[in-house]
Amino acid sequence: MTTQMTEDEDVPALGPAPVETGFPGIALYPGYLGAAAQGALLGALLAGFATAPPYRPRMPRTGQPWSIRQTNFGELGWVSRPDGYFYSSTNEVNGGKWPAIPAALLDIWAQVAHYPAPPECCLVNLYDTPKSRMGLHRDEDEAALDAPVVSISLGDSCVFRVGGFARSAKSKSFRLASGDVAVIGGASRLRYHGVDRVIPGSSRLVPGGGRINLTLRRVTKPAQ
């Protein structure tokens, strides 16, 4: 459950939760979920995968396959297709609805998001090969940009990079481990971020290895 700066930045090691990141609006909670809670959450995810199996999305325009697999829980799922990025209530892979967001994730949102409405989307990212990564990007398809993004890590650790408001801005990297929670909101809601790499064998939680990231988002503005 350690959350430390990686080799390429001289930012101090992070202390007890929540920790200061140097980015206003970004809070890291190392080890937010203990081993039992991580195991229970994994069980809920695997049950959901039975109705919404993870699939390999394709990039807009190029149609290139992503290096990760994805699925969703919640009323709205975020999908990447050759014709763009979309929120959709229908799982186009099998025509069904996305499974409900597991209660344990709604609890985490209620504890750390400080937002008056629940998340509508839980995007599941499966980093299941040594080459799995996510390039620098911003989460910007949501109308409710006043709500933070809440990100939960399970399984192998990763190198998570946070940048500025332009792709070329200076960035810092953090190690996210199984059970860690990251909140990206406030003045940092639209910062670029991404996953440089996953560290194989750093956790035994996920059968067969790999990392699972759960990204909770409020998509629509709540009614006033």
Ligand X SMILES: O=C(O)CCC(=O)C(=O)O
Residues that bind ligand X (CB under 6 A): 123, 125, 134, 139, 151, 160, 193, 195, 213, 215
Query: From CA 181, how far away is CA 56, in angstroms rounded?
Result: 25
Q: Which does 203 bind (CB under 5 to 8 A by kind): ligand X, Mn ion, none?
A: none
CB of 211 to ligand X, least distance (A): 7
Of the candidate residues 120, 128, 139, 156, the single one contacting Mn ion (CB under 5 A): 139
Name the residue number minimizing CB distance to ligand X: 213
Q: Between residues 166 and 223, which has the closer beta carbon with respect to ligand X?
A: 166
Largest Cα–Cα separation, the chain: 48
10 Å CB burial of residue 62 (0-12, 13-18, 19+) is: exposed
CB of 215 to ligand X, least distance (A): 4
Q: Which does 125 bind (CB under 5 to 8 A by kind): Mn ion, ligand X, none?
A: ligand X
Contacts of 130 (CB under 8 A, 6+ apart): 198, 200
Q: Which does 91 bind (CB under 5 to 8 A by kind): Mn ion, ligand X, none?
A: none
Q: Which does 183 bind (CB under 5 to 8 A by kind): Mn ion, ligand X, none?
A: none
Q: Which does 188 bind (CB under 5 to 8 A by kind): Mn ion, ligand X, none?
A: none
> Could you tell me how far CA 196 lies from the centroid of its own chain?
14
DSSP classification of residue 69:
E
Number of chain positions touching Mn ion (CB under 5 A): 1
Identify which of 181, 10, 38 has the alpha carbon closest to the alpha carbon of residue 110.
Answer: 181
Q: Between residues 2 and 224, which has the closer beta carbon with respect to ligand X?
A: 2
Query: From CA 150, how far away is CA 2, in angstroms rounded?
Result: 19
Tokens at 183, concatenated = 């909140």
Sequential DSSP letters for 142-163: -S-TTSPEEEEEEES-EEEEE-
CB of 139 to Mn ion, least distance (A): 4
Q: Which of the ranges 49-57, 105-113, 137-145, 175-183 carries the binding residues for Mn ion, by CB under 5 A?
A: 137-145
Identify which of 106, 113, 87 has the alpha carbon closest to the alpha carbon of residue 186.
Answer: 113
Build a one-symbol-per-residue string for 13-32: x at contacts with Mn ion by CB under 5 A, - elsewhere: --------------------
Binding site for Mn ion (CB under 5 A): 139
